[in-house]
């Protein structure tokens, strides 16, 4: 299989798995690192580059032309937020976004 076909398969499968459910997920620094590591692992396998070659992650990203997965997720979250803000107020995602809890929580919870 040539490189372009492998990249298309990567885009269709691996990126979809990494981005699944990301519109409502809050990314912490550790999760961002894990997502980037998973993406680089996929790309290394795609290009048949082992860690013994000591190839830097930026070089692997440039060779494949892949955008950073964390940046893609953040762009996707911004687009989703804009989409929800345009919704009618009776739609459930809009209500969940505007929800303000009433009362106070119990101590220790």
Q: What is the pLDDT of residues 41-72, one digit of tens each?
A: 988 988 888 888 888 888 888 888 888 899 99
Q: Which of 62, 60, 80 is nearest to 72 (CA)?
A: 80
Q: Give the pLDDT confidence score for residue 31 in this predicted structure.
A: 93
pTM of the predicted model, to two decimals? 0.79
DSSP assignments along 94-107, one per residue: HHHHH----S-PPT
d(C-alpha 71, C-alpha 83), whole Å: 18
Checking if the pLDDT of 3 tops 90, the result is no
Checking if the pLDDT of 21 tops 90, the result is no
Q: Give the pLDDT confidence score for residue 109 in this predicted structure.
A: 62
């Amino acid at each position: 299989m040539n490189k372009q076909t492998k990249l298309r398969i990567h885009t269709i499968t691996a990126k979809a798995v990494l981005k699944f459910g990301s519109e409502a997920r809050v990314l912490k620094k550790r999760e961002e690192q894990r997502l980037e590591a998973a993406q680089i692992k996929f790309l290394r396998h795609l290009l048949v580059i082992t860690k013994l070659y000591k190839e830097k992650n930026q070089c692997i990203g440039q060779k494949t032309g892949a955008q950073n997965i964390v940046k893609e997720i953040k762009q996707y979250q911004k687009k989703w937020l804009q989409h929800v803000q345009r919704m009618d107020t009776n739609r459930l995602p809009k209500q969940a976004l505007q929800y303000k809890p009433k009362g106070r929580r119990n101590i220790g919870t």
